[in-house]
Amino acid sequence: SGGCDKISGQKSTLRVSAHLGIPIGKQQFVHAYLNDKIILKSIEDLQTIQRMPLIQAQHTLLTKSICHRLNHLWCLIPTTDITNIHGNDDLHSLGLQLDSALRQHLQSLFPIHKINDRAWTIATLPPRLSGMGISTWRNTADCAFLASYAVISKTICHLFPNLSPAFQQPLPNPPPG
């Protein structure tokens, strides 16, 4: 479902289009949409689940809902290109703001123990590697987008050959071997 959303603090004539929750438009609108509709909403969601009495329920909602939703977004938002337009680094700071909120939430689950950098790194590992499965912007966004682009660029070029010049292959073909 797509549509146009007004972004807070912007003139009413300035809009960004969002389709499937992904902002499409000029850089300032993409950044404002990410901040207002995604980052601040996710931080608000973290504050809401902190009110739950069971730590297990909080963790389940965090990893199966909030982190899952964010992983979907990171697959579709080109972090590097947007960040580098006109030297603006807002997207990086927005991602780190969200990572900080995730870390604060984890610290609230364990108020007696200080979550140091090593513990945080372990917490961001998947459960199969003895982590807590908390996916962060810093660890996930670039890889998720590159993987998504690599898959979709091949599909688009196959379905629409006339668009293939617009989709450069991000990784060269491996040597035979």
pTM: 0.71
Between CA 143 and CA 140 the distance in angstroms is 6
Is residue 140 within 8 Å of 74, Cβ to Cβ?
yes
pLDDT top residue among 86 and 52: 52
| Helix 90-109 and helix 40-49, axial crossing angle in degrees, nearest 10 | 0
Between CA 24 and CA 15 the distance in angstroms is 10
pLDDT at 97: 87
For residue 1, name the pLDDT band (cuts at 50, 70, 90).
very low
